[in-house]
Amino acid sequence: MSRHIKGWVAREWKALTNDIQPLVGREHKHKPGATDMATATATTRGFAVKCIHCAEESTVRLDVHDVHTFHCGSCDNEFTADDVRAEMARWTKLLAWLDSAPAIDE
């Protein structure tokens, strides 16, 4: 497979999964408020994942009372871990096919 196609697939895969990197330890600045100090920082905890319906990043929430259903605050869709697994399986099949495809001469 050509490097061009492999690079494209890698970029698309990264965009889809956003590497599912935890946000733990990243700092962001809060705007000063009535009870905040001007230099206050906080740590965000979570995962930077995209909604499987609208692809908005960091809008997916998991209810602690129903840990089987995800909810997207952007498109208001709900989906399950099995839905995510099915989407990943479709991409995995495509990537396996691309790995087995003959190289294209550039």
Q: What residue numbers bound the domain in which 8 lies?
A: 3-24+42-100
Count of structural domains within the chain: 1
Residue 95's CB: how many other CB atoms inside 10 A?
15
30, part of any domain: no
Which pTM value belongs to this model?
Answer: 0.51
Reported confidence tier of residue 20, pLDDT bands at 50, 70, 90: very low
Give the chain's mean pLDDT: 75
What pLDDT does residue 45 have? 72
11, part of any domain: yes
What pLDDT does residue 13 have? 60
Task: Measure the CA–CA gap between 39 and 27, rounded to whole angstroms.
Answer: 12
Report, as an integer, the average pLDDT of 71-85: 94
Tell me the β-bridge partners of 43.
Answer: 27
What pLDDT does residue 64 have? 83
In the numeric block, the tokens 């099915």 are attached to: 86
106, part of any domain: no
Reported confidence tier of residue 21, pLDDT bands at 50, 70, 90: very low
In the numeric block, the tokens 């698309």 are attached to: 12
